[in-house]
Structure 1
Amino acid sequence: MRELNDEELVLRLREAKEELFNLRFQMATGQMDNNRRLRMIRHDIARIYTVMRERELGLSVSPDEVPSGEGAA
């Protein structure tokens, strides 16, 4: 997740939320085969939010913002 840039994170978040919606719908109608998938998607969403918050606070940087002058004095 951390190697994705901000736009890719937003896209991945949107896809995960859509899948979560569909899985909840399947669960309500009794068509769900894999209950574990619901939990995995929720954890992925939490991971994405965590990475986004870390970048917002400056605790980590996106791959686009990697300093180019590493090692230069």
Structure 2
Amino acid sequence: MASKKTITTLRDKSADELRSRERDLREQLFKLRFQRATGRMENPMKMRQVRREIAQIATLLNERERSA
């Protein structure tokens, strides 16, 4: 489960910052998938962490969109 610290820092960011972070994380996830496919992945848990943070950002953006 995500720490409250992570969620709090994400909530403090603007929508543009969140979209930028999400884009960076998606690129990172793409690279991690290639590493897994080639067998060079050092930390398999990193994929899980990245996917989870992407989901948290998407949820926050959705919440803001619906409340506006």
TM-score by length of 1: 0.78
State how far apart, in whole Å, the 1-side matches of 2:23 and 2:53 are.
Answer: 11
Aligned runs of 1:62-73 on 2, under 5 Å? none
Q: Name stretches of at least 5 consecutive residues in structure 1 with no aligned partner.
A: 62-73
Q: Name stretches of at least 5 consecutive residues in structure 2 with no aligned partner.
A: 1-9
Aligned runs of 1:9-24 on 2, under 5 Å? 9-24=18-33
More helix by share: 2
Bigger-Rg structure (1/2): 1
- Measured against aligned partners, the alpha-carbon deviations of 1:9-42 in whole angstroms (never above 9, x if no partner) come to 0100000000000000000000000000000000
Q: 2:12 is matched with which residue?
A: 3
Residue identity (%)? 44
Please give the root-mean-square deviation of Cα atoms over the aligned residues, in Å: 1.0
Q: Which runs of 4+ in 1 moved over 4 A?
A: none
Q: 2:57 is matched with which residue?
A: 48
Counterpart code for 2:32: L
State how far apart, in whole Å, the 1-side matches of 2:64 and 2:19 are.
Answer: 13
TM-score by length of 2: 0.84
